[in-house]
Structure 1
Amino acid sequence: MKRPFVTLEQLQEIVKQYPTPFHLYDEKGIRETARGLYRAFSWNPGFKEYFAVKATPNPQILKLLREEGCGVDCSSLTELMMSQRCGFAGDEIMFSSNDTPAEEFQLAAELGATINLDDISHIDFLRNTIGYIPKKISCRYNPGGTFTLGESKEGFQVMDNPGEAKYGLTRPQMTQAFRRLKELGAEEFGIHAFLASNTISNEYYPALAAILFRTAVELKEETGCHITFINLSGGVGVPYRPDQPANDIAVIGEGVRRAYEEILVPAGMGDVSLCTELGRFMLAPHGHLVTQVLHEKRTYKDYIGVDACASNLMRPAIYGAYHHITVMGKEDLPCDHKYDVTGALCENSDKFAIDRMLPEIDIGDLLVIHDTGAHGHAMGYQYNGRLRSAEVLLCEDGSTRLIRRAETPEDYFATAIWE
């Protein structure tokens, strides 16, 4: 059973200061997850987590993660700018972009970021843009086809379709790219790949690692390039549903270590550093969307109307994604009422839950929508003039800190031309 990281009593005090809806983050949980990840990969001396900024682009969250030794993975100009303002520089920044404008490559180069190229044509585009090829560079690999892990110990089948993804180079292109980059002065090479999203399996990362490690050995033999780092990317998921098992990062790290020692070490590549970009794993469980019940509507169904909407959390509306809901103060009551939990947008998809069995809900109840710490506030928008909400950090000492104020109508009007 999922339990919020905050009590009803705590929340009642917090909402006196910050009106609902708002996203609430748990500092203690974030730090513990970061430390657990670093313990799991401590066997690899050069290991570094490059947090995917797109998951939770809040400066205070990024600074917190930097304190825990994390870098950042950026995919746009503004993400690079935010990271720079937060104090990240040089090897602390990975720039993984696609369909990239020249100005973004320029800033990445100025910051000393490690550039991860998405296409073979970007080699000359980068060179023409900044005037040189960096001595340290990476290429994103797409093996094509369908990736299937099969039945895991957790009883969950992992399957995705890299061949339909717009990202990365083919296997022959990887060889061509490394040779070309070496000709142009590159000295340190990296490999990146992302094959499946939000996997609930301790076997995914080791399977991905084995694919990348074998590819690295082949590329070294074919091109003579010195491969110094391999980016395992993201894809390690979180259990959005209460009946799903959580990934064990210690088990995952051990599985990657075995593959490393079986494949890279015998090939004389025991100096390769590993890195990850685990946005969802790092943050999703440590964020709640807090909202209050405004209305109950009984027509063909029983609708609970809350003061949050898809502007605050898009995933259920656009993906049909499941997010667990806790009715605060009623955690132990029977879930014997069936509701659709809805927001106020003029879209029928603006529903946080459909036919969800919950305890009986009353007007004024506080609801916690779980696992919104990644791809929650970050995906917000302003349709219907519904404004993006505040972000609040629950500090380790139990106090709270506003880390992003709620938008105001003046923010909404600020970019309009009135005359």
Structure 2
Amino acid sequence: MQDVTSCWSTGVFAGVDLEQLALREGTPLYVYSAPAIRSRMRALHDALQGLNAGIRYAVKANGTLAVLQLLAEQGAGADIVSAGELQRALRAGIAACDIVFSGVGKTDAEIGMALAAGVGRFNLESRAELDAVQRIAAARGCMATASVRINPDVDAQTHAKISTGKAENKFGVAISEARAWFDAHTTWPNVQLDGLHMHIGSQLLSLAPVAEAVQRMATFWQQLVVAGHSIASLDVGGGLGVRYREGEHAPAARDYADILRTAFAGFDGRILVEPGRWLVAEAGVLLSRVVLVKQGEARRFLVLDAAMNDLLRPSLYEAWHDIVRIGDDAGRESLAYDVVGPVCETGDTFAMDRTLPRCAAGELVAILGTGAYASSMGSTYNSRPLPAEVLVDGGRYALVRRRQTFDAMIADEQPASVWNSP
């Protein structure tokens, strides 16, 4: 994403002056680059040329409506895991037939809503869920199209909290159980079971685990065909990693697509991919003001107005994000800082012992790689309203989420003035 690696000394991002943007919209402020997102979508589309493939963007990565609309304009469908994400995808203009519904704990209400909307496919993760879809579809007099999420028992070589394809993870079912479902498919007459799905984890920087898992899926698909089952869809999930720090490299879309071409040679159905982070992470930055510099007895702290409620990943996953000072650093000495927020938790830390140009109160910094799993994981902890979000494109910007006000934050709260019996 060349647009994202712009020269921070000039403070220009997609043609927009970040200092002026921060003065106008305040901080903390999420900023997303439309050209960077389009670039990633084009790269993936080009790589998949010649395959009967569809892109189903993982809405959980960043569900801001303007981002979803931008991706929809570029031809993306949606991978959802809740009724709320279903409504977001539909409001963004994504056709229901281009939506796949994943997740281990779909409620009856969510299944009913998805059936009513006409979602293209359910990714089923348990026998109980398969039974529920059958029951609800039968009651509605409709047919649900579904894939079995298999757990290929492949180590994704990623953080334990975002690994999803090993036998001990809660996701999917063993291939042996999936085989039994296909063999007994007439047990569920209102479920058209004709697909396979998997997702082995997130932030994958090596394609080796992907190739291993895809090959296991391909072998199972071929076995099912030999056994007389019709397979119309192979969904390989998402998980492609991005660059968060020097030395990391996002997997190339063409290398990824070549794995699919090789493994699925001869497959005449639809191949689905579910990228999220890979499409949007590097397109986003979180702007924040330095509140103060605190020299402790053992550490020097750079205290920002952004906090863990705005960006949880470093606290939750010990995740690294590059942090840069916006402005000309010529002649400034470099110092080591613990970069922290104002929330009353020691875990409210973005970086430890991070070398930065000397920073002062009031100056602007950017936390990079925050287009995915950042605003979407935000909270109002410590009664901190959610930050604003903007989309930048060609020297202009659009406010796509207003900064939450205190009144909006507490709008659904009320005193205990009316008491009811259960």
1: distance between equivalents of 2:7 and 2:73? 22
The 3 A distance-change label for structure 1 pair 109 and 15 is same
Residue from 21, 36, 40 that aligns with 1:29:
36
Aligned counterpart, 2:101: 95
How many equivalent residue pairs?
401
Q: Is the 8 A contact 1:237 1:247 kept in 2?
A: yes
Aligned counterpart, 1:147: 155
The 3 A distance-change label for structure 1 pair 187 and 318 is closer
Aligned counterpart, 1:390: 388
Measured after TM superposition, the shift of residue 135 of structure 1 is 5.2
Q: Is the 8 A contact 1:5 1:26 kept in 2?
A: no
Measured after TM superposition, the shift of residue 251 of structure 1 is 1.8
Q: Is the 8 A contact 2:31 2:392 kept in 1?
A: yes
Q: Is the 8 A contact 1:54 1:75 kept in 2?
A: yes
2: distance between equivalents of 1:381 and 1:276? 29
Measured after TM superposition, the shift of residue 3 of structure 1 is 3.1
Q: Is the 8 A contact 1:337 1:359 kept in 2?
A: yes
Q: Is the 8 A contact 2:163 2:169 kept in 1?
A: no
1: distance between equivalents of 2:317 and 2:282? 18
Aligned counterpart, 2:420: none
2: distance between equivalents of 1:140 and 1:106? 20
What are the equivalent positions in structure 2 for 1:57-206 lying under 5 Å apart? 57-113=63-119, 114-131=121-138, 134=143, 136-144=145-153, 146-147=154-155, 162-185=166-189, 186-187=191-192, 189-206=194-211
Aligned counterpart, 1:308: 306
TM-score by length of 1: 0.90
The 3 A distance-change label for structure 1 pair 276 and 331 is farther
SS at match of 2:210: helix
The 3 A distance-change label for structure 1 pair 281 and 385 is same
Aligned counterpart, 1:15: 22
Aligned counterpart, 2:375: 377
1: distance between equivalents of 2:93 and 2:77? 10
Task: Letter of the 1:235 partner, please give it.
Answer: G
Measured after TM superposition, the shift of residue 169 of structure 1 is 1.1
Measured after TM superposition, the shift of residue 365 of structure 1 is 1.6
Measured after TM superposition, the shift of residue 215 of structure 1 is 1.3
2: distance between equivalents of 1:85 and 1:372? 24
Residue from 409, 412, 418 that aligns with 1:412:
409
SS at match of 2:184: helix
Measured after TM superposition, the shift of residue 334 of structure 1 is 7.4
344-353 vs 192-201, which moves further: 192-201
Measured after TM superposition, the shift of residue 127 of structure 1 is 1.5
SS at match of 1:167: coil
Q: Percent identity?
A: 28
Question: Mind listing any 5+ residue stretches in structure 2 that lack a counterpart?
Answer: 418-422
2: distance between equivalents of 1:254 and 1:334? 46
SS at match of 1:176: helix
TM-score by length of 2: 0.89
Measured after TM superposition, the shift of residue 88 of structure 1 is 2.2
SS at match of 2:127: coil
Aligned counterpart, 1:209: 214
245-254 vs 364-373, which moves further: 245-254
What are the equivalent positions in structure 2 for 1:269-284 lying under 5 Å apart? 270-284=267-281
Q: Is the 8 A contact 1:126 1:133 kept in 2?
A: no
Residue from 230, 234, 248 that aligns with 1:244:
248
SS at match of 2:123: strand
1: distance between equivalents of 2:205 and 2:331? 29
